[in-house]
């Protein structure tokens, strides 16, 4: 088996799920997560073949989650789809299990057990792409796509506002993003997440001040 060729084939299969998908969870996100996962994975001594496959396939369940407005979990659904794609491309059961388990556990908002280093690295890489300047861009793009407000500094951050008008970047940051650096599994992931988190904190401090009339 020419593994690099098979990985390329899986990449093309995965890309097919992103045609017409809106900006915040598009194929560009997948490419960024891929790069971050390899960067962290190399430092951690992870299995890069598992990581490459998991990164390419991790969000293929997204269109279904969007269509059902969150009723279908894209991590669970994506893991099922990934199993079929990997089997079709000739990967053995051991590899199929390793990759699909990473996909199943990658969501920040659903706490699942991470059974391997590769699962932890994918989680860190995917979470990091929701932080920093790119994270802000993605959050505003997502809010726009579901018709949420631009900002509400007085939102109840303890309540789940997913897919409502209160599903704003600020709510997401205060409800989910806030703990992200602490939830990183790898040292390099924590370093990057912390830097990006601090940048977002400054941004939201400023936006809150502007809502209060800062000139
Ligand atoms: Fe995801
Ligand atoms: Fe993702």
CATH number at residue 78: 1.10.3210.10
Rounded to the nearest angstrom, the distance between the alpha carbon of 106 and the centre of ligand 1 is: 6
Does 178 map to a domain?
Answer: yes
Rounded to the nearest angstrom, the distance between the alpha carbon of 65 and the centre of ligand 2 is: 12
pLDDT at position 113 is 86
- The pLDDT tens digits of the residues spanning 162-209 come to 999 999 999 999 998 888 999 999 999 999 999 999 999 999 999 999
**If pLDDT is split at 50, 70 and 90, which confidence band does 69 have?**
confident
pLDDT at position 199 is 97
Same domain, 49 and 92: yes
Same domain, 156 and 215: yes
**If pLDDT is split at 50, 70 and 90, which confidence band does 43 have?**
very high
* Number of separate domains in the chain: 2
Rounded to the nearest angstrom, the distance between the alpha carbon of 90 and the centre of ligand 2 is: 25
Rounded to the nearest angstrom, the distance between the alpha carbon of 46 and the centre of ligand 1 is: 20
Burial of 108 (0-12, 13-18, 19+ CB in 10 A): middle
Does 141 map to a domain?
Answer: yes
Does 86 map to a domain?
Answer: yes
Same domain, 55 and 145: no
Closest-lying ligand to the alpha carbon of 73? 1
pLDDT at position 45 is 97
pLDDT at position 177 is 84
C-alpha–C-alpha distance, residues 96 and 195, integer Å: 34
Return the number of other C-beta atoms located less than 10 Å from residue 150's C-beta: 11
Does 36 map to a domain?
Answer: yes
Range of the domain at 63: 1-110
pTM (two decimals): 0.91
Rounded to the nearest angstrom, the distance between the alpha carbon of 59 and the centre of ligand 1 is: 5
Same domain, 93 and 136: no
Rounded to the nearest angstrom, the distance between the alpha carbon of 27 and the centre of ligand 2 is: 9
Does 125 map to a domain?
Answer: no
Q: Which residue has the tokens 């659904």?
A: 77
Same domain, 135 and 200: yes
Same domain, 90 and 36: yes
pLDDT at position 155 is 95
């Amino acid at each position: 088996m020419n593994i690099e060729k098979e990985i390329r084939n899986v990449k093309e299969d995965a890309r097919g799920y992103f045609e017409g998908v809106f900006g915040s969870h598009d194929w560009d996100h997948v490419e960024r997560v891929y790069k971050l996962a390899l960067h962290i994975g190399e430092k951690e001594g992870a299995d890069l073949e598992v990581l490459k496959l998991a990164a390419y396939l991790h969000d293929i369940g997204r269109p279904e989650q969007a269509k059902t407005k969150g009723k279908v979990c894209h991590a669970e659904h994506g893991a099922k789809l990934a199993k079929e794609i990997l089997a079709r491309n000739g990967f053995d059961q051991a590899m199929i299990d390793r990759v699909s388990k990473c996909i199943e556990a990658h969501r920040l908002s659903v706490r699942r057990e991470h059974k391997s280093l590769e699962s932890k690295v994918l989680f860190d890489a995917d979470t990091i792409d929701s932080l920093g300047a790119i994270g802000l861009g993605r959050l505003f793009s997502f809010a726009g796509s579901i018709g949420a407000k631009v900002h509400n500094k007085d939102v109840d951050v303890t309540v789940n506002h997913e897919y409502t008008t209160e599903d704003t970047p600020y709510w997401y940051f205060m409800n989910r993003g806030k703990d992200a650096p602490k939830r990183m599994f790898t040292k390099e992931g924590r370093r990057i997440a912390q830097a990006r988190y601090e940048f977002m904190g400054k941004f939201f401090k400023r936006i809150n001040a502007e809502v209060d009339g800062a000139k």
